[in-house]
């Protein structure tokens, strides 16, 4: 499938216009519970477009991508969070709290983060789709790197799902197929996958209107996000409050509900989505952006653009240090110039895979797969990053990754909490990179721990990497003793016998009070 640069630009511009429109339409109903019939904006139109963290965060991430290119990862984004992004509440605040304590992603997104399965990640997926149009396998990878900074579980699955759909939407317009493509990148039994199936069944039941379907959705997937009733309404006692911070499934369900009951029409779909309330600016902004990608600027009626124009307003990022895009036009142009960095050619399986090319007339063309070929590749067939991405995503454990030119190491654990005398277990996944391990060598893992801690297998242990792309899986453990501090930093050091490169993986471990 070929995507001409002119079509890409139009779809990307419509993506950001749809994001602005949906965020502004839904903002007055954020965190409220109830239903309301809408056909237009309800805020003071003299204010123009409303600022929204959903878009603000992506403006900061674009600048990180401009600085680091395709090598941008969770650790880079974590530092941008601490340096340039203001919000310090909810999952944002808990992720930043962990980062300030020295806890690296993905552990920063999960360690005692009660908001980690809420909505703060999937609302910022468009940047990864626009940088990787027609390549959901790449968009999903970057979406994971983004989400794991301050989310886990359903919070991560939701962003990966959205990013894959939005990326594929640049070259595919069938929504049922797009949804299936998104599902292929997440576990089949997760909450996001289950809510997709639930909304599809509601939409197939012609006896249900969108208001009844919304009620059934919130009964089946309770959320705590809609915390107060709409003005003049009372909370429906038949709609329960869900577990604290478990909001992503219900709100992804609302996005899909808006699509199905909106009949594919941009205006009707976003009005239904906003009318469901809950996290209305996020749900409506996400659907508006997706519809923008699919239909381009021609799908957006002028009535939605007249009050807000091309402007982007920021509130949640430090514009004194970052040159953020101030208009949709500027944002679109900056992503256009960066996109080729993310879609550069890759030499794979004996041939060059060209994701972009320049024709004789000088026009840039993006090359992508078609239809169901856009789904996540099977693990044994996929590009290494996709394969290892799925291994990590599906495990939903705390994973801290480090790379050298020669190999990649992931330290994986279920907790960062220490208990006196209780063994602390770390799984080590070690992956050699192609072409470097052409001979067999003994290599070393060194544990740097407090002197009084016990190490059943010793503080230095050896491992072998003997084949290109060879994976090795090890388990190491230690027993903490004489715990006196609130937290400890331990270090894993991995040495290669053949090369001077070393990898250091810091782990910040905590002693927590147990609630009564």
- Write the pLDDT tens digit of every residue in 341-373: 999 876 555 667 789 888 888 888 999 999 999
For residue 512, the model assigns a pLDDT of 87
Neighbours of 362 (CB within 10 A): 7
Could you tell me where the DSSP H helices lie in 149-209? 154-168, 175-183, 191-204
Domain end residue (candidates: 341, 357, 385): 341
Distance CA 357, CA 346 (A): 13
Q: Look up the pTM and report it.
A: 0.95
State whether 228 and 300 are in the same domain: yes
State whether 320 and 430 are in the same domain: no
For residue 382, the model assigns a pLDDT of 35
* Domain assignment present for 354: no
For residue 159, the model assigns a pLDDT of 98
State whether 469 and 332 are in the same domain: no
State whether 336 and 231 are in the same domain: yes
Q: How confident is the model at residue 407 (pLDDT cuts 50, 70, 90)?
A: confident
* Domain assignment present for 378: no
For residue 384, the model assigns a pLDDT of 47
Phi/psi at 369 (5° precision)? -75, 175
* Domain assignment present for 327: yes
State whether 173 and 240 are in the same domain: yes
State whether 324 and 419 are in the same domain: no
For residue 467, the model assigns a pLDDT of 58
Average pLDDT, the chain: 92
Distance CA 140, CA 146 (A): 10
Distance CA 130, CA 290 (A): 11
E strand or H helix that includes residue 353:
strand 351-353
State whether 65 and 188 are in the same domain: yes
Q: 477 near 456, Cβ under 8 Å?
A: yes
pLDDT tens-digit series, residues 298-344: 999 999 999 999 999 999 999 998 999 999 999 999 999 999 999 98
Q: How confident is the model at residue 374 (pLDDT cuts 50, 70, 90)?
A: very high
Domain end residue (candidates: 324, 341, 358): 341
**Domain at 451, CATH number:** 2.60.40.10
pLDDT tens-digit series, residues 460-497: 998 877 655 567 788 999 999 999 999 999 999 998 77
For residue 432, the model assigns a pLDDT of 74
* Domain assignment present for 385: no
Joined together, the tokens standing for residue 208 give: 């249900």
387 compared with 123, residue with greater pLDDT: 123
* Domain assignment present for 516: no
Neighbours of 139 (CB within 10 A): 31
State whether 335 and 408 are in the same domain: no
Plot region of 68 (φ>0 → left; ψ -120 to 50 → alpha; else → beta): alpha
* Domain assignment present for 379: no
Give the chain's domain count: 2
State whether 328 and 446 are in the same domain: no
Angle between helices 154-168 and 384-395 (to 10 degrees): 150
**Domain at 119, CATH number:** 1.10.4080.10
For residue 383, the model assigns a pLDDT of 41
Q: How confident is the model at residue 514 (pLDDT cuts 50, 70, 90)?
A: confident
151 pLDDT higher than 90: yes
220 pLDDT higher than 90: yes
State whether 401 and 332 are in the same domain: no
Q: pLDDT above 70 covers what percent of the chain?
A: 93
State whether 33 and 178 are in the same domain: yes
* Domain assignment present for 488: yes
Domain that holds residue 416: 397-510
Tokens 């952006």, residue located: 289
| CA 190, 196, 202, 205 torsion-angle sign | negative
* Domain assignment present for 381: no
Q: pLDDT above 90 covers what percent of the chain?
A: 81
Domain end residue (candidates: 306, 322, 341): 341
140 compared with 385, residue with greater pLDDT: 140
How far, rounded to the nearest angstrom, does the alpha carbon of residue 170 sit from its chain's CA centroid?
18
pLDDT tens-digit series, residues 409-430: 899 999 999 999 999 999 998 8
For residue 470, the model assigns a pLDDT of 64
For residue 162, the model assigns a pLDDT of 98
State whether 432 and 303 are in the same domain: no
For residue 358, the model assigns a pLDDT of 86
Write the CA distances from 411 to 22, 304, 392, 453, integer angstroms: 40, 48, 11, 19
């Amino acid at each position: 499938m070929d995507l001409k640069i002119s079509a890409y630009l139009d779809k990307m511009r419509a993506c950001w216009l749809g994001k602005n429109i949906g965020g502004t339409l839904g903002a007055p109903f954020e965190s409220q519970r109830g239903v309301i019939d809408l056909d237009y904006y309800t805020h003071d139109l003299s204010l123009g477009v409303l600022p929204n963290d959903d878009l603000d965060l992506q403006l900061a991430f674009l600048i990180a991508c401009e600085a680091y290119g395709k090598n941008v990862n969770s650790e880079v984004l974590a530092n941008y969070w601490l340096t340039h992004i203001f919000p310090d509440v909810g999952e944002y605040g808990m992720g930043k709290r962990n980062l300030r304590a020295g806890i690296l992603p993905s552990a920063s997104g999960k360690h005692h983060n009660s908001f980690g399965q809420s909505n703060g990640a999937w609302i910022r997926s468009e940047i990864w789709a626009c940088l990787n149009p027609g390549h959901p396998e790449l968009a999903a990878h970057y979406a994971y790197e983004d989400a794991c900074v301050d989310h886990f579980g359903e919070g991560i699955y939701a962003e990966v799902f959205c990013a894959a759909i939005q990326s594929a939407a640049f070259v595919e317009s069938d929504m049922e197929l797009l949804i299936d493509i998104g599902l292929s990148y997440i576990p089949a039994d997760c909450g996001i996958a289950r809510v997709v199936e639930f909304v599809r069944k509601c939409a197939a039941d012609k006896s249900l209107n969108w208001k009844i379907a919304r009620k059934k959705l919130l009964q089946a997937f309770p959320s705590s996000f809609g915390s107060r009733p709409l003005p003049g309404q009372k909370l429906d006692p038949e709609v329960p409050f869900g577990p604290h911070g478990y909001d992503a499934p219900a709100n992804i369900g609302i996005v899909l509900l808006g699509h199905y009951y909106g009949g594919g029409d941009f205006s009707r779909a976003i009005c239904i989505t906003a009318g469901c309330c809950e996290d209305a600016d996020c749900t409506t902004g996400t659907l508006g952006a997706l519809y923008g990608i699919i239909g381009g600027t021609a799908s957006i009626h002028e009535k939605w653009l007249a009050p807000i124009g091309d402007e982007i307003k920021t509130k949640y990022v430090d514009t004194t240090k970052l040159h953020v895009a101030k208009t949709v036009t500027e944002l679109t142009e900056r992503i256009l110039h960066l996109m080729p960095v993310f879609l550069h050619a890759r030499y794979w399986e004996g041939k060059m895979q060209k994701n972009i090319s320049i024709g004789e007339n000088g026009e840039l063309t993006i090359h992508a797969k078609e239809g169901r070929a856009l789904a996540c590749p099977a693990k044994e067939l996929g590009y290494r990053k996709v394969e290892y991405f799925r291994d990590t995503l599906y495990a939903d454990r705390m994973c801290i990754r480090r790379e050298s030119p020669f190999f990649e190491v992931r330290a994986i654990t279920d907790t960062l909490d220490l208990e006196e005398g209780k063994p602390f277990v770390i799984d080590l996944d070690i992956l050699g990179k192609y072409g470097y391990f052409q001979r067999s060598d003994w290599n070393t893992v060194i544990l740097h721990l407090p002197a009084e801690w016990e190490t059943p297998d010793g503080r230095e242990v050896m491992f072998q990497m003997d084949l290109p792309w060879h994976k090795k899986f090890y388990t190491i453990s230690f027993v903490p003793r004489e715990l006196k501090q609130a937290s400890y930093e331990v270090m894993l050091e991995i040495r290669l016998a053949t090369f001077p490169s070393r990898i250091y993986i810091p782990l910040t471990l905590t002693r927590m009070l147990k609630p009564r």
